[in-house]
Amino acid sequence: MISQLEREVTFRFLKTRKNDGFLNIISIFSFIGISLGVAVLIIVMSVMNGFRTELISKIVGFNAHAVVQPGNKPLEYIQDFDFAKNIVSNDGEAVILNKDNTKGVFLKGYQESDFKNLQIIKNEEFFGSKNLKDNTISIGKTLSFNLNVDIGDIITVMSPAGIQTLVGNLPKQENFKVVSIFDSGLSDFNENIAYINLETLESFFNKNKDDRFIEFYFKDPKNIEIHKKNLIALFPDAMVYTWSDMNKSLFSALKVERNVMFIILFLIIIVAAFNIISGLTILVKNKTREIGILKSIGVSSKSIKKIFFLVGFSIGTSATLFGVFVGTIFSIYVENIRQFISNIFGISLFPEDIYILNSMPSEININSIIIIALCSIIATILVSIYPASKASSLDTVKTLKYE
């Protein structure tokens, strides 16, 4: 328990005085350093959490949650599953030839009825016809800009599958009419993916129905490992890939980067917290006479230790709480702040072509904030123990004699 005397003395030592100029500077820098460290750590963690969540949302929203590909024998298509929707698909790589532009693309083939049920077609940023008939193609927004084509234009697509002619085996070429343009929110997806009719694709790449695979769309795609086990049990001879498997390196890199950033930024808090040792050591030196007087009137060494510990703890805790407040507010309005800075200075922060997303995401995680705050307070507690112990061990007679 903390007595009334200990609280009053602690509050008195925390109050600034004219002759405590250098001590006040150290205390201010300790406060600012811890606050900035906590705030920046919360902001970075929130942005990285938001980036990961947004990325998962984009990937899961416009791609199959899991793909089952045939192994040694063709897949047995099962019409209905309780835990997921499933559709038949096929794909292949091709090259688009259009005037002076040439672009490699990944073509995905769907039946017309299945194409209409894709999430990307239900998106507000989808323009054009939802009917994917023979020799029609749906391309991404970025790809349409790069090729300078619009809905209704004709483009030539070249397949790596050969066609036998009088002069030998030549790559197959066909003309496709652009019937729709989509925007997935992912620049790479918009630039490199295009949709065509399933039968057209199989003819174009010389594939047959045995090459088809099944795409699954789950009600709860985040719980992907359980779904994968179910699919492996249903298709023991097939190959099963999930969105997590297909983006494993990306999310592993994000996890490592988040952990490294946490360690680096937490070191800022540690360095700032060590300023408390300097400040409390100087405070003990300046308050030697007061310590001697307190001991002479019967205040125990334990209470002296508690008083100086509370001084350091108060600085660290208040700085941590202020940092949590600043970091949380900044995280909530990080996209507004980004737009404001970009408009004022005319610079592009968080460019879409580098970071894939078109806005800076942020997701405040209460557990992360609690962990950051606790780590900061624990660091403050640890660095406050030594100077507090030093103050309690001062000899009463010597302190009053030399002061």
Whether 227 is in a domain gets the answer no
328-348 mean pLDDT: 81
In which band, very low, low, confident or very high, does the pLDDT at 45 lie, cut at 50, 70 and 90?
confident
- Asked whether residue 60 carries a pLDDT value surpassing 80, the answer given is no
> And the tokens for 398?
């010597």
- C-alpha–C-alpha distance, residues 192 and 184, integer Å: 11
Top-confidence residue, 218 or 249:
218
> What domain range is 22 assigned to?
4-55+250-402
- C-alpha–C-alpha distance, residues 354 and 242, integer Å: 25
- Asked whether residue 212 carries a pLDDT value surpassing 80, the answer given is yes
- Does 187 share its domain with 264? no
- Does 48 share its domain with 81? no
Tell me the pTM.
Answer: 0.66
- Does 284 share its domain with 190? no
- Does 131 share its domain with 80? yes
Whether 223 is in a domain gets the answer no
246-268 mean pLDDT: 76
- Does 273 share its domain with 147? no
- C-alpha–C-alpha distance, residues 197 and 48, integer Å: 38
> And the tokens for 329?
């507010």
304-315 mean pLDDT: 79
Tell me whether strands 84-98 and 239-242 are parallel, antiparallel or unpaired: unpaired
Q: 3-state secondary structure string, 11-45?
A: HHHHCCCHHHHHHHHHHHHHHHHHHHHHHHHHHHH
* Portion of the chain with pLDDT greater than 70, in percent: 79
- Does 40 share its domain with 175? no
Question: 201 and 207 in contact (C-beta within 8 Å)?
Answer: yes
Domain end residue (candidates: 151, 181, 211): 211
Whether 334 is in a domain gets the answer yes
What pLDDT does 177 receive?
93
Question: 90 and 213 in contact (C-beta within 8 Å)?
Answer: yes
- Does 355 share its domain with 297? yes
- Does 280 share its domain with 394? yes
Whether 142 is in a domain gets the answer yes
Whether 220 is in a domain gets the answer no
Whether 67 is in a domain gets the answer no
- Asked whether residue 114 carries a pLDDT value surpassing 60, the answer given is yes
Whether 148 is in a domain gets the answer yes
**Looking at beta carbons, which pairs linking 308-311 to residues 24 or more positions away fall under 8 Å?**
308/13, 308/280, 308/283, 308/284, 308/384, 308/387, 308/388, 308/391, 308/392, 309/384, 309/385, 309/388, 310/2, 310/6, 310/7, 310/10, 311/10, 311/13, 311/14, 311/280, 311/283, 311/384
- C-alpha–C-alpha distance, residues 33 and 35, integer Å: 6
Total domains in the fold of the chain: 2
Whether 245 is in a domain gets the answer no
- C-alpha–C-alpha distance, residues 145 and 103, integer Å: 12
As a whole number, the mean pLDDT across the chain is 79
Q: Which secondary structure element, helix H or strand E, spans residue 232, and what is its range? A: helix 224-234
Domain end residue (candidates: 182, 211, 240): 211
Domain end residue (candidates: 155, 186, 211): 211
Question: 87 and 215 in contact (C-beta within 8 Å)?
Answer: yes
- Does 306 share its domain with 388? yes
User: Among 5-14, 112-121, 206-215, whose mean pLDDT is lowest?
Assistant: 5-14
- Asked whether residue 260 carries a pLDDT value surpassing 50, the answer given is yes
What pLDDT does 314 receive?
82
What pLDDT does 13 receive?
64
- Does 87 share its domain with 146? yes
In which band, very low, low, confident or very high, does the pLDDT at 402 lie, cut at 50, 70 and 90?
very low
- Does 170 share its domain with 285? no
- Does 388 share its domain with 262? yes
